[in-house]
Amino acid sequence: MPFRKKILLFRRDMWRAQIKNRTIFYNMNKKELLPILAELGVTPGKHFGQNFMIDDNLLDFICRKAAPVPGEIILEIGPGLGSLTRKLLEAGAKVTAIEIDKRLAEYLGKNISSPNFTLVCGDACRLDIMEFMPSEFRIVANLPYSITSPFIARMTDLETPPSEMLFMLQKETGMRLASGPGTKNYGSLSVFVQSVYTVEYLRGVAPQVFFPAPEVDSAIVKFTRRKDYPSLSDRKILHKLVRTAFSQRRKKMFKQIVTVFDREKTEKAYASMAISMNARAEELTVKQFMAMGRLMADDAQQIPE
């Protein structure tokens, strides 16, 4: 099968995963951590962007918020040294993890043995996740800063998006994803993600709880799928609309929209929704963008990806 030629599924023996800009879950202190890293030949630094968690309380907080239940299927991105993985497995969850760092994978292979644990070789931003995940699953992950936005957008763009996602990510990105209209952080990704998920900014995370300490603050953000989330076709139109509307956020969005959508249809949508022709994208709510997208759906279908 072509898919099997691209990636291989392994249980407990061989894996690879995301290594760039990632905090690795392992609830041990610095003195316990350093000998293991030395044995694995891992020198955390800017080249790999690896920052290891050394705070038990933070790991416990993540596990409480994830609240895994027996038998449920959870996808983990970058299991690192496996501390979070173990807690999910101990709760009875079936964990599929995507790994790319061979050194860390070898450590996991020697230290985790469970029939409920599956590792996938590949890049989380390039793999067709639905090739090995069921239609309903949750994600618990510490995302590399460099892939946060594209990965979340990709998950939101699945025909059936994950029912829930709990991410450790850069604080600035978390604030942007959870922000509302009229704020400086509100943008196209905010609208697109919030059309599918209720986004809850749970807490900020200081650099001092990691080794080595990153240069920016992090945050834990929870995404809960809405019961009435839009269809995939509606989401594609919405994506085109908000991407266009926010392309020059300081200007009137009408001028941007009519470069992509039909002018007459756009004017009718504005009139029917009582939107000012002077409105900027940051002033509209997620519901308003969704309604506008439905009104302009026929025209949007003709726009190439």
What tens digit of pLDDT does each residue of 159-196 get?
999 999 999 999 999 999 999 999 999 999 999 999 99
The answer to whether residue 305 sits within a structural domain is no
CATH of the domain at 150: 3.40.50.150
Q: Tell me the three state secondary structure of residue 43.
A: coil
Neighbours of 50 (CB within 10 A): 26
Q: Give the per-residue pLDDT at 104.
A: 79
**For the chain, how many structural domains are there in total?**
2
The answer to whether residue 157 sits within a structural domain is yes
Q: Which of 181, 203, 225 is the last residue of a domain?
A: 225
Residues 169 and 268 in one domain: no
Residues 213 and 258 in one domain: no
Q: Give the per-residue pLDDT at 298.
A: 64
Residues 173 and 116 in one domain: yes
Q: Give the per-residue pLDDT at 301.
A: 42
Reported as a single tens digit per residue, the pLDDT across 279-299 is 999 999 999 999 999 998 865
Residues 157 and 247 in one domain: no
Cβ–Cβ < 8 Å for 269, 295 = yes
The answer to whether residue 39 sits within a structural domain is yes
Most confident of 77-81, 88-92, 110-114: 88-92
Q: Give the per-residue pLDDT at 84.
A: 86
Residues 282 and 220 in one domain: no
The answer to whether residue 286 sits within a structural domain is yes
Residues 220 and 242 in one domain: no
Residues 216 and 255 in one domain: no
Residues 220 and 237 in one domain: no
Reported as a single tens digit per residue, the pLDDT across 55-69 is 888 889 999 999 999
Whether pLDDT at 12 is above 50: no
Residues 186 and 237 in one domain: no
Q: Kindly tell me the sign of the dihedral angle through the C-alpha atoms of 167, 94, 42, 5.
A: negative
Whole domain around residue 289: which residue ranges? 232-300
Neighbours of 107 (CB within 10 A): 20
Whether pLDDT at 302 is above 80: no
Report the chain's mean pLDDT, rounded to a whole number: 85
The answer to whether residue 258 sits within a structural domain is yes
Residues 197 and 267 in one domain: no
Range of lowest pLDDT (43-52, 91-100, 199-208): 43-52
- Its pTM stands at 0.86
Residues 176 and 289 in one domain: no
Q: Which of 225, 245, 269 is the last residue of a domain?
A: 225
Q: Which of 225, 253, 288 is the last residue of a domain?
A: 225
Residues 244 and 197 in one domain: no
The answer to whether residue 186 sits within a structural domain is yes
Range of lowest pLDDT (102-111, 113-122, 165-174, 236-245): 102-111
pLDDT, mean of residues 197-203: 98
